[in-house]
Amino acid sequence: MTDEHEETTPGGGSDGLWRWLVGGLLGGAVVLALLVAAYAIGHNRGEDAARATSPATTAPATTEPAATTPATTTTPPSTTTTTPPPETAPIEATPALVARGKTLFADDGCAACHSLSGAAGAGPALDGAAGRTVELDDGTSVTADDAYLERSLIDPDAQIVKGYGAGIMSAAVAGHTFADNPDDVGALVAFIKSQK
């Protein structure tokens, strides 16, 4: 009699548990595949843009100096220094600007690397990022004010957050030309500031 009862129970026995476990594993695999695909799309988009904008390397032309050319003096090569970003006015996080930043954040694939919930990712989490002290990989600390956030978008490798690698974000944002789109940069900064 007990055998008949188990057979007539819907999803009875361990069969229902197995279905639940397999369904959960499949659902998790789909979510993971979507995250990996989003990251790959953003990463490849950045690599393609970096290749398209990088200057072609050519062999230097060599010429024989003419016999009548006077001797020239050479000057030592100048050393380049990183110039600090220009002072910018604080960005007011208006609802319209935050909404525009949220759209850019979603459309540009930022969520593939940056969490809004504090979870670890390929890039730093952005919840509560604005205004906090950020430790950099060179051992210094900076405050994540508007100027820092803007520079992090325009020149991502200028100041690398400790624990993260150079080149990742610069490759991902290479095609976005943030330096030429201050309105997009301002909208993204406003969105980041809205994440408490």
Assign 3-class secondary structure to 42-96: HHHHHHHHHHHHCCCCCCCCCCCCCCCCCCCCCCCCCCCCCCCCCCCCCCCCCHH
CA dihedral sign of residues 45, 46, 49, 50: negative
Q: Give the Cα separation of 154 and 165 in Å (integer).
A: 17
Query: What is the structure's pLDDT at 47?
Result: 53
List Cβ neighbours of 48 (8 Å cut-off, separation of 6 or more).
Answer: 175
List Cβ neighbours of 134 (8 Å cut-off, separation of 6 or more).
Answer: 124, 141, 142, 143, 144, 148, 159, 161
The low-confidence residues of the chain, meaning pLDDT below 50, are 5-6, 49-67, 69-85
Query: What is the structure's pLDDT at 145?
Result: 94
8 A C-beta contact, residue 130 and residue 152? no
CA torsion 17-20-25-28 (nearest 10°) is -150
Q: Give the Cα separation of 29 and 33 in Å (integer).
A: 6
Query: What is the structure's pLDDT at 179?
Result: 84
Query: What is the structure's pLDDT at 16?
Result: 83
**pLDDT tens-digit readout, 136-184:** 999 999 999 999 999 999 999 999 999 999 998 988 888 888 888 899 9
Which residue in 132, 105, 133, 128 sits closest to 117, CA to CA? 128
Query: What is the structure's pLDDT at 88?
Result: 62
Q: Give the Cα separation of 162 and 139 in Å (integer).
A: 8
Q: Give the Cα separation of 167 and 58 in Å (integer).
A: 24
Left if phi > 0, otherwise alpha if psi is -120 to 50, otherwise beta: which for 60? beta
